[in-house]
């Protein structure tokens, strides 16, 4: 009797560990494998590089995860990062609107506002016009990238003001500032999603739009809010990225929307909506960056890595779909 109780208790703990901490376990297992393959992998310099790369993607992925909770997604996030970065850099250098360089922080507010406006357009098209999110955000993706090419003449913008440099290249102790920003944003988002009515309503909308509507939740408003928040986070991600690179080019934010989706799904956010914890997205992005960092360490061709990224996306979505089928 005691043995059967102990076994059932062990199974429950194992199930809980696999459900809640699968990503953490995956990161640890990868770390062991890559450490045995490359002596440089398990060093602070390398892990610092992983966290630096993860921070900007994870900030953008947080917005994608919030949208995914409602059952939608945003294909324009990467190009939104690009456009916001280009506009912000040109304002800081006085090469657009006026010939006078803007205060870097005023330019930063302008670029985040622009990114939020792109999110607002996506939200209006999706929630109130009734376009599928795929079509609406695919259209704004092309618009953002086209405008970015026009205003920059497809030319990189180097040497940004030192005033914003600490966001991407600064440290508090041994921890990069951009990593602290990432953690703070996720901690705030996780708290709001669990402890507030707005957060609970987001899950309700994603779980069943019809049921949420009949309980008095303004579904369209929540769709709009999530796209605006995701846009603003794309602007913040663009600001941190341009600060870290000390330059802006058309490649800024490239494929971030797909990395954000992969990281979110790996972290437990369901494409069907209404399921998953936002903090898992951050861990999912770190998992993804760790995987490709390790593959680079052991000399796997970057083109092969792109193929593997596609496999990771398909596998993650397949697992998500099969899991949701079992629950229904």
| Domains contained in the chain, CATH given | 44-327 (1.10.3470)
pLDDT at 169 > cutoff 80: yes
Q: What is the pLDDT of residues 14-55, one digit of tens each?
A: 454 455 578 888 899 999 999 998 888 989 899 999 999 999
Give dist(CA 217, CA 74) in Å, integer.
22
For the chain, what is the mean pLDDT?
Answer: 89
**To the nearest whole percent, how much of the chain has pLDDT over 70?**
91
Query: Of 91-100, 298-307, 313-322, which one has max mean pLDDT?
Result: 298-307
pLDDT of residue 13: 45
Decide: 41 and 31 in contact? Cβ < 8 Å: yes
pLDDT of residue 11: 54
Token digits of residue 252:
């800024």
Q: What is the pLDDT of residues 199-253, one digit of tens each?
A: 999 999 998 888 988 889 999 999 999 999 999 999 999 999 999 999 999 999 9
pLDDT of residue 1: 47
pLDDT at 298 > cutoff 70: yes
Q: What is the pLDDT of residues 106-156, one digit of tens each?
A: 999 999 999 999 999 999 999 999 999 999 999 999 999 999 999 999 999
DSSP H helical ranges for the chain = 2-37, 44-69, 77-92, 104-123, 133-152, 165-169, 177-195, 197-207, 209-214, 219-245, 256-266, 278-297, 302-327
Higher pLDDT, residue 316 or 106: 106
């Amino acid at each position: 009797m005691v043995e059967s109780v102990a076994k059932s208790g062990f199974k429950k703990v194992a199930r809980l560990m696999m459900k809640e901490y699968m990503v953490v376990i995956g990161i640890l297992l990868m770390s062991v494998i890559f450490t045995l393959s490359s002596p440089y992998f398990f060093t602070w310099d390398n892990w610092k590089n992983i966290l630096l790369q993860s921070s900007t993607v994870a900030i953008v992925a947080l917005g994608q995860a919030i949208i995914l909770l409602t059952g939608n997604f945003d294909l324009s996030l990467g190009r939104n990062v690009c456009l916001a970065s280009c506009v912000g850099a040109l304002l800081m250098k006085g090469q657009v609107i006026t010939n006078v360089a803007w205060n870097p922080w005023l330019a930063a507010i302008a670029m985040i506002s622009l990114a939020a406006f792109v999110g607002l357009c996506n939200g209006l098209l999706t929630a109130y016009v009734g376009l599928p999110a795929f079509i609406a955000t695919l259209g704004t993706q092309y618009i953002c990238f086209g405008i970015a090419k026009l205003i920059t003449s497809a030319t990189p913008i180097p040497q940004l003001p030192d005033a914003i440099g600490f966001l991407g290249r600064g440290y508090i102790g041994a921890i990069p500032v951009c990593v602290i920003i990432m953690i703070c944003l996720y901690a705030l988002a996780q708290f709001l999603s669990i402890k507030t009515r707005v957060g609970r309503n987001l899950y309700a909308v994603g779980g069943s739009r019809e049921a949420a509507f009949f309980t008095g939740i303004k579904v369209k408003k929540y769709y709009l809010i999530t796209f605006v928040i995701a846009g603003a986070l794309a602007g913040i991600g663009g600001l941190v990225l341009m600060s870290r690179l000390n330059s802006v080019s058309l490649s800024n934010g490239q494929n971030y929307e797909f990395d954000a989706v992969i990281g979110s799904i790996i972290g437990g956010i369901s494409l069907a909506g209404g399921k998953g914890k936002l903090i898992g997205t951050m861990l999912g992005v770190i998992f993804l960056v760790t995987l490709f960092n390790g593959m680079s360490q052991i000399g796997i061709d970057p083109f092969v890595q792109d193929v593997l990224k596609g496999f990771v996306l398909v596998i993650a979505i397949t697992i998500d779909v099969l899991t949701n089928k079992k629950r229904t």
